[in-house]
Amino acid sequence: MSSTAPTSPQPSPTPERAGAPAALSDVTASDGALRRFLHGLPGVDAVGLEARAASLGTRSIKTTAKAYAIDLAISMVDLTTLEGADTPGKVRALGAKAVRPDPTDRTAPATAAVCVYPDMVAAAKEAVAGSAVKVASVATAFPAGRAPLAVKLADVREAVAAGADEIDMVIDRGAFLAGNYRKVFDEITAVKEACGASARLKVIFETGELSTYDNIRRASWLGMLAGADFIKTSTGKVAVNATPANTLLMLEAVRDFRAQTGVQVGVKPAGGIRTTKDAVKFLVLVNETVGEDWLDNHWFRFGASSLLNDLLMQRQKLATGRYSGPDYVTVD
């Protein structure tokens, strides 16, 4: 990983999805073609995938490189609160923390975004106004996705109208697992349209419910073919969320998709990433699998709530040589 300081998100340099090769576009022309393509993807070697992820996870970085990795990880956090007890005051406080994670150190980078429910978007926008921090909103009947399409689209439109810069949608896992890939594809394309030109779309697979690595690979390609700007592992609301192995598999998918289409798609592991050590492992996965093109918060994010605090504690430890007391960071 380079030691250059993290930069603000830049506009996508990649061509429009409409420019994808005709041969790949043809796979979405019919239910049968889509099914044949998804089931024709190479099977995943589970043992090899997990061994590769574990091997990369053993690598360590020190001193200057570690300081860079911590700042990069902070800049990639989608600081998240998705609780029924969320209040405008809590969201405003979270937004203030996203803009200035460490009030005692102005050199600490801002996070990438604040992620909230649609009814909290306005409060979040107010809190981050004047900064580069984005507001992301979950939508489409998050986290279960069990609602009619009209309700899901209304959810998206309300969030965008309130000022959401990004929409995190959940796929219909029941339809996917039943083999109804066309329904999932059509819902993603409809949500992408509802996002308009102003909001980027992150598509959540809930990998812990997809059962197999083959299904995760198929879901990754299905989401990208339907127009996802990001593919995301999880909601953080189930037992198994982001893992190095499922994230590695999704990184391989976006790498191969760009090789075939010229279109770059981001990746967001979410849920269960709580420590600086965890975050660094994921950054190594990115660097070794897709390279520096994805080492930017325009293309890689962490969906997390508690991760930021540990990153700040480790950052302060590097600066001073000692760990701070428990009151150094806020408890969100």
- Phi and psi at residue 220, in whole multiples of 5°? -60, -50
Count of C-beta atoms within a 10 Å radius of residue 8: 14
For residues 245 and 50, give the distance between their C-alpha atoms in angstroms, rounded to a whole number. Answer: 5
The partner residues of 316 in beta bridges, in order of sequence, read none
Distance of CA 85 to the CA centre of its chain: 23
Tell me the catalytic residues: 168, 232, 268
Torsion-angle region of 86 (φ positive above 0: left; ψ -120 to 50: alpha; else: beta): beta
Asked whether 276 and 39 are in contact (CB, 8 A), the reply is no
- Find, among 207, 138, 208, the residue nearest to 169 by Cα: 138
H or E element: which one contains 294? none
Cα–Cα distances in angstroms (integers) from residue 325 to residues 14, 102, 332, in the given order: 45, 14, 16
Q: Is the distance from CB of 130 to CB of 102 less than 8 angstroms? A: no
